[in-house]
Amino acid sequence: MSRYGFFFDASACSGCKTCQAACKDKNGLGVGVLWRRVYEVQGGAWRKEGGLWRPAVFAYNVSVACNHCEEPICRTVCPTAAVIQREDGIVTIDRALCIGCRYCEWACPYGALQFDEPQGRMTKCDFCPDELEAGRPPVCVAACPMRALDFGEVEELRAKHGATAAIVPLPKPEVTKPALVIKPHRDAARAEAEGAEVANWEEI
């Protein structure tokens, strides 16, 4: 069976965070728990051109949830075997098994696993299985006003959009082999070459 994956168009994302809000609303997530997060990436500086200083800055946004990796490190490290990968690639957490040790939170390079303090256990994006069963897209995809998010069978997404899954600030895809396809922002190459920072850590 093919695996589900997300597509993210960084060149289209305006950073409105509707995806984040829709996910939070649909799943009733508490304060501080974000299954989908929008990272504001910025870099560059003033550049001297002759006798003139010109701003040569850049900024773009990256919307990330769990990438339902081919090699999910969260599943490997979980001591209770609470992290499960379905045949369709979706990675979920068995609520009954999780003991809230937060080891998966340390390990996941996407920050996908989020601790729910009142419940004392880990939570994460489950790809909205109820929406899929009803023939609808995950709510983050459906909510995006810029159509910057999409989903589907990951091989189809790669055939349509290319196989890129790397963009600053995400880790190298070799680490966990995410089911993610990205259309990079025009300044993504500059961010990679010159370095960039996340401007909104306080929000995420």
Q: Does 58 sit near another protein (CB under 8 A)?
A: no
Q: Does 106 sit near another protein (CB under 8 A)?
A: yes
**For tokens 């790809």, what's the residue?**
127
Among residues 14 and 76, whose Cβ is nearest to another protein?
A: 76
Cα 36 to Cα 6, 45, 150, 175, 176: the distances in Å are 12, 29, 14, 20, 18
- The three-point CA angle 200-13-126 to 5° equals 80
One residue of 17, 24, 36, 121 binding another protein per CB under 8 A: 121
One residue of 46, 54, 81, 193 binding another protein per CB under 8 A: 81
Closest separation in Å from C-beta 81 to another protein: 4
Cα 110 to Cα 48, 53, 132, 178, 180: the distances in Å are 36, 37, 23, 10, 12
Among residues 46 and 106, whose Cβ is nearest to another protein?
A: 106
Closest separation in Å from C-beta 82 to another protein: 8
Size of the site for another protein (CB under 8 A): 39
Q: Does 99 sit near another protein (CB under 8 A)?
A: yes
One residue of 14, 54, 119, 162 binding another protein per CB under 8 A: 119
Token reading at 185:
């922002």
One residue of 93, 108, 144, 148 binding another protein per CB under 8 A: 108
Interface segment toward another protein; rule CB under 8 A; list 85-93, 119-127, 148-156, 180-188: 119-127
One residue of 12, 16, 59, 97 binding another protein per CB under 8 A: 97
Site string for another protein, 140-179 (x = CB under 8 A): -----------------------------xxxx--xx---
**For tokens 């009954």, what's the residue?**
96
Residues within the interface to another protein (CB under 8 A) = 37, 39, 64, 73, 75-82, 97-103, 106-111, 115, 117, 119-122, 169-172, 175-176, 197-198
